[in-house]
Amino acid sequence: MVNDLSYQDVLTKLMDGIVGADVRSAITEAFQYILNAYLSGKISDEQLKKDLVEFCLDVLVTKKPFEDIDKLREEAKDWAEKLYRGVKIYALRYRLATRYGRGE
């Protein structure tokens, strides 16, 4: 897909509007836990997808606490799919770099 973004770009866009540095830091750290669990093989693709939906919903509730929860769930699924694609691309690069070196 031409519009695919890196997971970092998607995460930045997802956090758009959250101004508290401590909250943004906590969100980034939570995402890193999920990413590291996936890269280390501790969670499957299916679990990654579920965790990303839950993660995105938590971020959206933080951003829009008075929004209808069902609407936020649907939005979370869209964000999670974008993050998932970004993570899969990153994981491919990570695995190849680990296997073949970093090309230095």
The closest of 56, 47, 46, 65 to 11, measured between CA atoms, is 56
pLDDT at position 99: 83
pLDDT at position 3: 59
Long-range contacts of 65-68 (CB under 8 A, 24+ apart): none
- Judge contact between 68 and 75, C-beta under 8 A: no
The total of structural domains in the chain comes to 1
pTM (whole model) above 0.85 = yes
Range of the domain at 40: 7-98
The verdict on residue 77 lying in a domain is yes
The verdict on residue 13 lying in a domain is yes
Which one has a higher pLDDT value, 97 or 10?
A: 10
Long-range contacts of 41-49 (CB under 8 A, 24+ apart): 48/84, 48/87, 49/80, 49/84
The pLDDT of residue 9 is above 90: yes
Q: How far apart are CA 31 and CA 34, in angstroms?
A: 5
pLDDT at position 32: 98
